[in-house]
Amino acid sequence: MKTKYNVDENGFYGKFGGAFIPEMLYPNVEELKENYLKIMAEPSFQEECDQLLQQYVGRPTPLYFAKRLSEKYNTKIYLKREDLCHTGAHKVNNTIGQILMAKRLGKTRIIAETGAGQHGVATATVCALMGLECIVYMGEVDIKRQAPNVARMKMLGAEVRPATSGSKTLKDATNEAIRDWINNPVDTFYIIGSVVGPHPYPDMVARFQSVISKEIKTQLLEQEGRENPDYVIACVGGGSNAAGAFYEFLEDESVKLIAVEAAGHGVDSGESAATSVLGKIGIIHGSKTLLMQTEDGQITEPYSISAGLDYPGVGPLHAHLHDSNRAEFIAITDKEAMQSGLEISKMEGIIPAIETAHAFSVLDKKQFKPTDIVVINLSGRGDKDLNTYIDYFGF
Amino acid sequence: MNRINKTLQQDNKLLSIYFTAGYPKLIDTVSIIQELEKNGVDMIEIGLPFSDPLADGPTIQESSTQAIENGMTTSLLFEQLKDIRKTVKIPLVIMGYFNPMMQFGMEKFCQKCAEVGIDGLIIPDLPLYVYETEYKSLFEKYGLKNVFLVTPQTSNERITQIDAVSDSFIYMVSSAAVTGSQSGFGNEQMDYFKRISDLNLKNPQIVGFGIKDHETFSQATKHQKGAIIGSAFIKFLSNNPMNTIEKFINSLKFD
């Protein structure tokens, strides 16, 4: 099928994407590229994947009509409850898919990068499930900030290796994971945590996450008698939960897509992660995309109170959705997100991850019609952020 | 004839040295090049520092981070190199990642290279097909040779493809590893060196990654035309004054 917004046969989304990788990675990435669609189409693969998503992850996750929020904002708000997935966020949809992919390709050693630790935990979880060796690269700075997730990964049997180069955060952890892959080209599979990296990763991860929008369609049909909402709202760091929530609606322009970025202390403050505003086209981790960088092309360190949104790039799909105006991009500050996190907790009894809280702040920024159906992807729960909430509000 | 191709016709095994521009000190670039040529180095790779060098190990990454902190930029590098051809005759190649070049503007970058007398480029993350479809004619317009990497995992079919697109030398990565992480060559690598040599490619090969002393230099040049030393030289520069470069080079050439 010819698509306007999805990936083309060369791995590009418009002018974004591709595989800008050193030759050392070529055989691995090529092997994956040649096989991922074939493997994903195998009935036995789908069966195993579906079964795990159902029995182990707890899918389908509910599409919950948020009555009190809907009353307050005078519109119809549905929450897609990815926070109810095993491990507390949508991340596991992807790691389940990729670990099955790794097994089909005969790989025995798994590596991953992690920022806040959510993807690391989701990877360590599926490695424990499959009995595979797991090494997670994590920035030295993040290891200190996210001690509970480091402990969880260790308990799950993973080895957590500190990334000590560069700024010692997510982008450096990703560099280290890529270097590990270069050093171990035969037995190792790299489970990337977002819709980033060289083709075919952005497409493969988006496909594994697309279960979110598939379920939204079915559930909305049951509850509202129609498959398509008027709006889908999701937060974007690298962009995997947004890719999953948007996926089935990409080509249907009657569904409006809103991608929410982290403005940090404000887009102009110098401490922000709003890549669509502050980024310029460039190459990061093998992908041509929007990227926060100096004039000289050195990648800069983004800032957000939420560790899951402070990636200096954005997936090439989202760069294209931005460039083509298919999605509206809205930047939300730390302060706005924290207030929304508190509001959702008090009004709906759901403590969201701070990443997710950014998506809710859109309700204060945009006016929706009373008849509009607005789906917010509730990508993760806030347990991991309790310390940040406690410090911020002084509970 | 391009200086690289001329040098490749020499009878001797070629010694090529990589260093990061702007390291250890911002102003060292030109003196390092001159010192290397004076001591009989055949070719030099000037590293354009990048914040996120994926294919490099900690030694080169740290030198790049330091160089950027020192204030090295793409335009400053060209400024430093503007009179280099008044004193230096050996081939000079810029090795760097694609993003800083892209931000500078690829045409402007190539034009500047030609102006100051750069002979070729090594861009590890510029893929073969993107080069062929988007940049080949630009490189040719400015007389720049693009050098591709091959690794022990590269298939013969792809090596043949790379050989066809290349017109200087092929950069042979010695083993599946980032720079600076190897400890001597074993049978596996020697077999790989021989295997590539037996392909009778039209481009000579120069081996890089893991060469650090006379022994590894001799091993790497048993079947190939030359060898590139990077991390070992950066380490040397970190601990020794510039006027002892002669000692380092001699230790590579002689036992």
DSSP symbols for B76-136: HHHHHTTTGGGT--S-EEEEE-HHHHHHH-HHHHHHHHHHHT--EEE-TTS-HHHIIIIIH
Q: How far is B10 from chain A (nearest CA, A)?
A: 28
Q: Is B246 a catalytic residue?
A: no
Residues of chain A found within 8 Å of residue B50, distances taken between Cβ atoms? 297-298
Count CA within 13 A, CB hemisphere, residue A359.
Answer: 30
B114 vs B141: CA distance, rounded Å: 10
Could you tell me if A210 and A216 are in contact, meaning their C-beta atoms sit under 8 angstroms apart? Answer: no
Could you tell me if A132 and A110 are in contact, meaning their C-beta atoms sit under 8 angstroms apart? Answer: yes
pLDDT at B182: 67
A174 vs A197: CA distance, rounded Å: 9
B54 vs A165: CA distance, rounded Å: 11
The pair of three-digit structure tokens given for residue A95, joined into one six-digit string: 């790691």
CB-CB neighbours of B101 under 10 Å: 24
Residues of chain A found within 8 Å of residue B68, distances taken between Cβ atoms? 298
pLDDT at A2: 64
Interchain contact, A166 vs B51, CB within 8 Å: yes
Q: Is A379 a catalytic residue?
A: yes
The pair of three-digit structure tokens given for residue A222, joined into one six-digit string: 């049951």
Q: Which residue of B has its CA nearest to A286?
A: B125
SS3 content of chain B, % helix, strand, coil (to 5): 50, 15, 35
Report the residue of A161, A186, A296 to disrupt the B interface, i.e. the one with the largest count of B CBs within 10 Å.
Answer: A296
The residue that leads in pLDDT, A381 or B179, is A381
For the segment A269-305, what is each residue's pLDDT rounded down to a tens digit?
999 999 999 999 999 999 999 999 999 999 999 999 9
* 3-class SS of residue A336: helix
* 3-class SS of residue B69: helix
Could you tell me if A123 and A129 are in contact, meaning their C-beta atoms sit under 8 angstroms apart? Answer: no
Q: How far is A60 from chain B (nearest CA, A)?
A: 38
CB-CB neighbours of A254 under 10 Å: 8
Burial class (CB within 10 angstroms; exposed 0-12, middle 13-18, buried 19+) of A201: buried
Task: Give percent of chain B with pLDDT exceeding 90.
Answer: 90
Interchain contact, A185 vs B61, CB within 8 Å: no
Total-model pTM: 0.96
Q: Does B244 touch chain A (CB under 8 A)?
A: no
Could you tell me if B194 and B219 are in contact, meaning their C-beta atoms sit under 8 angstroms apart? Answer: no
The pair of three-digit structure tokens given for residue B23, joined into one six-digit string: 């390291």
B202 vs B204: CA distance, rounded Å: 7
Residues of chain A found within 8 Å of residue B61, distances taken between Cβ atoms? 165-166
pLDDT at A330: 98
* Alpha-carbon dihedral angle through residues A348, A351, A354, A358, given to the nearest 10 degrees: 0
Interface of A with B in 277-296 (CB under 8 A): 280-286, 291, 293, 295-296
Interchain contact, A283 vs B127, CB within 8 Å: no
Q: Please give the domain boundaries of chain A with CATH numbers for all domains.
A: 19-52+91-204 (3.40.50.1100), 58-89+210-393 (3.40.50.1100)
The conformation of residue B13, written as its DSSP 8-state character, comes to P
* Length reported for chain A: 395
Spans of all domains in chain B: 3-253
Catalytic residue among A91, A107, A168, A384: A91
Interface of A with B in 220-279 (CB under 8 A): none
- Return all residues near B200 (Cβ < 8 A) that are at least 6 apart: none
Burial class (CB within 10 angstroms; exposed 0-12, middle 13-18, buried 19+) of A277: middle
DSSP string, A189-209: EEE-SSS-SSTTHHHHHHHHH
Residues of chain B found within 8 Å of residue A284, distances taken between Cβ atoms? 52, 99
Interchain contact, A283 vs B58, CB within 8 Å: no
The pair of three-digit structure tokens given for residue A184, joined into one six-digit string: 């171990």
How confident is the model over B20-26, as a mean pLDDT?
Answer: 98
A3 vs A222: CA distance, rounded Å: 28
Beta pairing partners, A281: A290
Specify the DSSP element, H or E, that contains A289.
strand A287-291
Interchain contact, A165 vs B97, CB within 8 Å: no
> Residue B154: which of A185, A19, A33 has the closest Cα?
A185
Please state which architecture CATH assigns to domain B3-253.
Answer: Alpha-Beta Barrel (3.20)
Q: What are phi and psi of B18, to 5 degrees?
A: -105, 140
Interchain contact, A22 vs B54, CB within 8 Å: yes
A48 vs B251: CA distance, rounded Å: 59
Low-confidence ranges of chain A (pLDDT < 50): none
Q: Is A91 a catalytic residue?
A: yes
pLDDT at A1: 54
Q: Is the ipTM of this complex over 0.85?
A: yes
Closest Cβ opposite residue B52 in set A27, A296, A299: A299
pLDDT at A307: 85
User: Residue A276 is which amino acid?
Assistant: S
Q: Which residue of A has its CA nearest to B153?
A: A27
Report the residue of A12, A182, A292, A301 to disrupt the B interface, i.e. the one with the largest count of B CBs within 10 Å.
Answer: A182
pLDDT at A344: 98
Residues of chain B found within 8 Å of residue A280, distances taken between Cβ atoms? 103
pLDDT at A165: 84
